[in-house]
Amino acid sequence: MEAVSRTAQWTAAARALETERDDRLFADPYARTVADTIGFDLLERYAGAGTVPFLAIRTTYLDRAVVRAVAEGGIRQVVLLAAGMDTRFYRLPWPDGVTVYELDRPALLEAKAAMLADEPAPAGRERRTVAVDLTQEWTGRLKEAGWRAEEPTLWVVEGLLFFLPEEAVRALLANLSGHSAPGSVLLGDVISRAALLNPLSRPFMTALAEDGNPWLFGTETPERLLTECGWAVREVRQPGEDGADFGRWPYPVPAREVRGVPRSFLFTCYLPTGEENAA
Ligand SMILES: C[S@@+](CC[C@H](N)C(=O)[O-])C[C@H]1O[C@@H](n2cnc3c(N)ncnc32)[C@H](O)[C@@H]1O
């Protein structure tokens, strides 16, 4: 597995810890299996201000947004970009007829398939894995797997954008909006550029770079980035703000006007339908 793919085991380890709390926000009963020992080693190595509570908040925010998008928007095709060790296919309450596409590097998908080989697929839903490099053309592979561009899609880009250079981030987000039917939804997260540069982040950033998966991209203006890439922004939330706290965030949330603050942003975007455009 490539170095960057091991970070999927790191985030799975954080989900395992949340799952094992008495006051858990979600249950991911597969997380400990897919994290393996390396996930917990990385959790220790990348320990930093707020990593574990942030990952619990990110998972919870996205779980709820995913469930809402399929329930309210009637979306039946879900694409998890850089799915890593995400087990939402197994653990979320999907409506019948949903197809979940999991896109990631080939070695990660093979390792995950081996680890979950004994898990029966829940009834009424389908899971398809697609081996890709998201910095190259990949939509052809997704179409071959059965995805239909003319129907609305729920895209989830969780824990990926900071690994990519800015041109690749913009190309990916624009590619998604360009290939999405009206009514599609995009969920994900991005960090501030200050998070890359702040001296307090240095040990964490150095460890990531030493391991071969440096963080490269951040922005102070996620709304602008998303809009410029063709998306209508429904909301952007920092951990600790209303709708992205869940009783887990232990720090104050500095106002957006304060410059130079390491931040994470969770976002929900959509492509308006004809009716919304006309309104
Ligand atoms: C931090 S993990 C996040 C995984 C999962 N979305 C989560 O939140 O737990 C980053 C993931 O991005 C994947 N990844 C990184 N660069 C990629 C690329 N160019 N193409 C496809 N997947 C990539 C890695 O293999 C890894 O699974």
Which tens digit of pLDDT belongs to each residue from 200-255?
A: 888 899 999 999 999 999 999 999 999 999 999 999 999 999 999 999 999 999 99
- pLDDT at residue 48, rounded to an integer: 77
| Ligand 1 binding pocket includes 87 (Cβ within 6 Å) | no
Pocket test for ligand 1, best of 1, 2, 5 (most atoms within 8 A of CB): 5
| 56: nearest Cα among 18, 7, 1, 16 | 18
Q: Which atom of ligand 1 is nearest to the CA of 157?
A: 6
| Ligand 1 binding pocket includes 208 (Cβ within 6 Å) | no
- pLDDT at residue 1, rounded to an integer: 84
pLDDT over 70 (residue 274) = no
Q: Are 156 and 66 in contact (CB under 8 A)?
A: yes
pLDDT over 80 (residue 278) = no
pLDDT in tens, 163-203: 999 999 999 999 999 999 999 999 999 999 999 998 888 88
Regarding beta strands 125-131 and 98-104, do their DSSP bridges make them parallel or antiparallel, or are they unpaired? parallel
Domain annotation for the chain: domains and CATH numbers: 46-278 (3.40.50.150)
pLDDT in tens, 15-42: 999 999 999 999 999 999 999 999 999 9
- pLDDT at residue 273, rounded to an integer: 80
Question: Per the structure block, which two tokens stand in for 263?
Answer: 């931040």
Nearest Cα residue to atom 13 of ligand 1:
82
| Ligand 1 binding pocket includes 229 (Cβ within 6 Å) | no
Q: Which atom of ligand 1 is nearest to the CA of 168?
A: 19
Cβ-in-10-Å burial (0-12, 13-18, 19+) of 231 comes to buried
- Please, how many CA atoms are within 13 Å of residue 249, restricted to the half-sphere of its CB? 21
Q: Which atom of ligand 1 is nearest to the CA of 135?
A: 19
- pLDDT at residue 276, rounded to an integer: 67
